Structure 1
Amino acid sequence: MTSPLITPAELAALDEVTVLDVRWRLGGPPGEGLYREGHIPGAVFCDLDADLAAPPGAGGRHPLPEAGAFQAAMRRLGVTDAPVVVYDDAGSTTAARAWWALRYFGHRNVRVLDGGLQAWTAANLPITKDVPDSAVGGFTARPGGMPVLTADEAAELATRGVLLDARAAERYRGEVEPVDPVAGHVPGAVNAPTTENVGPDGRFLDPAALRARFTALGVGEGVEVGAYCGSGVTAAHEVLALEVAGLPGALYVGSWSNWVADPTRPVATG
């Protein structure tokens, strides 16, 4: 199986590739500003909120976009059927959402730059402020390339398989909730913070280490697994880590922000 990750040296050696810069900050400076301060040569900026999600609402803070909207966004960014590489500067947490969305909508050759922009610069590879003129791409969005969960399916999975909560432990326990109106977690979910998928350098742990991590959480051959987070972004990172480990996983895209939009859904704490 081809790894969903790519090294800086492997990316630098590619001739025909679309590179998407998916940097984003919750409550911080816009990712496009970071992009214009310096990015990988040839990369185009991909906006998490505008390009990889529908407007927030009952479906969550980052719901799945409609196929037509996603296709239009990717074509504007120059995406074709040629290889795509996505990166950020935050341990691949937002790049993973771009990877997952492209995979969900049928792109068969998309990889995440392991270690992100930091790994690129650590390899003494160039950074530029030049914004490329991207040609309109011909990508066609075909939904269904990755498994997804509804709220009801996530609740059911938590009882018969493993539902991973990718948020920080204190949010899972309900001790703090900085974003959503209700604190806690889906009953039966297991806490698996995405920060533990990567090392101090932001690179993913090797497949064996990730497999051991998920095995300790109850994931294994024949065990159905899904993941959620606050809004379906870092949970895509969990699905990516599962894939690196050779374990398929489904994404509850609406995640906690969708779960608590319905006051009748149960909430667990502790």
Structure 2
Amino acid sequence: MTNLVSPAQLIHLQRRAEHGEGPAVRVLDVRWRLDRPEGRPEYVRAHLPGAVYVDLEHELACRSEPERGRHPLPALDDLQVAARGWGLHDEDIAVAYDDNRGVAAARLWWLLRRAGVDVRVLDGGIRAWVAEGLPLEGGDVLPEAGDVVLAAGEGDRLEIGEVADFARDGILLDVRTPEQYSGAQASLDPVGGHIPGAVNLPAMATVGGDGRLLPPAALQRVFAGAGIRDGSRVAVYCGSGVAAMHTALALEQAGIRAAVYPGSWSEWSNHRGLPVAVGILPYGRLTAV
């Protein structure tokens, strides 16, 4: 499976499907931002033709206690119900996009890929589509229900009890901003700082000025700067498990398979007694939640 498509490649997939030469394509609009989590108004105003809106806060996460973080993973059964509501069938190709450099779309990519779906991210999102002079439409798309059956993914996520050991034996990437990583900037979480042993590499270091992911060779150079090469054991976390999945996508494009700690800092910082490193060094000045 490939992970990214350009606007031209998406159109090619759609035309093949229309002529019965390839699987159906379901386009999914995952517009979400930390400062504007409800993307439906923008979606209703204008979206890719036929795109179905996906609510990240309610369909790609679940409500829970703060101890599980801000965006706990949805239960597989709940994700399957949502995916069927998007009109997704077995063998379909899902193509996700957003308007924020692929960050939210990558959350859908990560969840569906580990559930056995052929899923791609539209590189550059809706802005790349518009830049090509391609049409948009307004209103809401309500597809007929699908019947996709999702599989339980394994082996590509870390639970909170596994993170400290991984940081000692592998490369644990913190992809928040340097200010968040060091603890210099106040966050939405109880304390600032990072998981001891984590290396900082901001998620946006993997994205070009046009909102597209950097080419694989350039991504390899970016990750090499954090000590990551072929054969490295890598896991990624962020504030609440959204941007981390975008970096997992970038790592995949560079030929490196990574695990994700979905609870991320919002879960770690809500567990009293866990160690916290403050400052710019991986082990920095140690304190505790």
* TM, length-normalised to structure 2: 0.90
CA positional deviation for 1:9? 0.7
CA distance in 1, matches of 2:37, 2:64: 20
CA positional deviation for 1:139? 1.3
- Report what 1:102 is aligned to: 112
Alignment length (residue pairs): 268
CA distance in 1, matches of 2:182, 2:270: 19
- Report what 1:164 is aligned to: 173
CA positional deviation for 1:132? 2.6
- Report what 2:55 is aligned to: 47
List per-residue Cα deviations over 1:156-185 (Å, max 9, x = no partner): 111111000011110001001331121010
CA distance in 1, matches of 2:110, 2:119: 9
Distance 1:101 1:146, change over 3 A: farther
On the 8 A contact 2:160/2:268 being kept in 1, the answer is yes
On the 8 A contact 2:38/2:55 being kept in 1, the answer is no
CA positional deviation for 1:29? 6.5
On the 8 A contact 1:103/1:146 being kept in 2, the answer is no
CA distance in 2, matches of 1:162, 1:45: 35
The alignment status of 1:191 with 2:200, answered yes or no, reads yes
On the 8 A contact 1:41/1:130 being kept in 2, the answer is no
- Report what 1:32 is aligned to: 40
CA distance in 1, matches of 2:246, 2:44: 25
Return the letter of the residue paired with 1:32.
R
The alignment status of 1:125 with 2:134, answered yes or no, reads yes
Displaced runs of 4+ in structure 1, greater than 4 A?
none
CA distance in 1, matches of 2:126, 2:109: 16
CA distance in 1, matches of 2:155, 2:25: 22
**1:154-233 matched pairs, under 5 angstroms:** 154-233=163-242
Q: What is the aligned-residue RMSD (CA, Å)?
A: 1.2
Any gaps of 5 or more consecutive residues in structure 1?
none
CA positional deviation for 1:130? 3.6
Return the letter of the residue paired with 1:6.
V
CA distance in 2, matches of 1:110, 1:73: 15
SS at match of 2:48: coil
CA distance in 2, matches of 1:142, 1:38: 33
SS at match of 2:187: coil
* TM, length-normalised to structure 1: 0.96
On the 8 A contact 2:25/2:95 being kept in 1, the answer is yes
CA distance in 1, matches of 2:69, 2:89: 29
Return the letter of the residue paired with 2:212.
R
- Report what 1:19 is aligned to: 27
Q: Identity of aligned pairs, percent?
A: 47
Distance 1:145 1:37, change over 3 A: farther
Any gaps of 5 or more consecutive residues in structure 2?
15-23, 280-289
Q: Identify which of 153, 171, 174 aligns with 1:144.
A: 153
Distance 1:119 1:145, change over 3 A: farther
CA distance in 1, matches of 2:28, 2:154: 20
CA distance in 2, matches of 1:257, 1:39: 31
Find the structure with the greater CA-based Rg.
Answer: 2
CA positional deviation for 1:192? 0.9
CA positional deviation for 1:133? 3.2
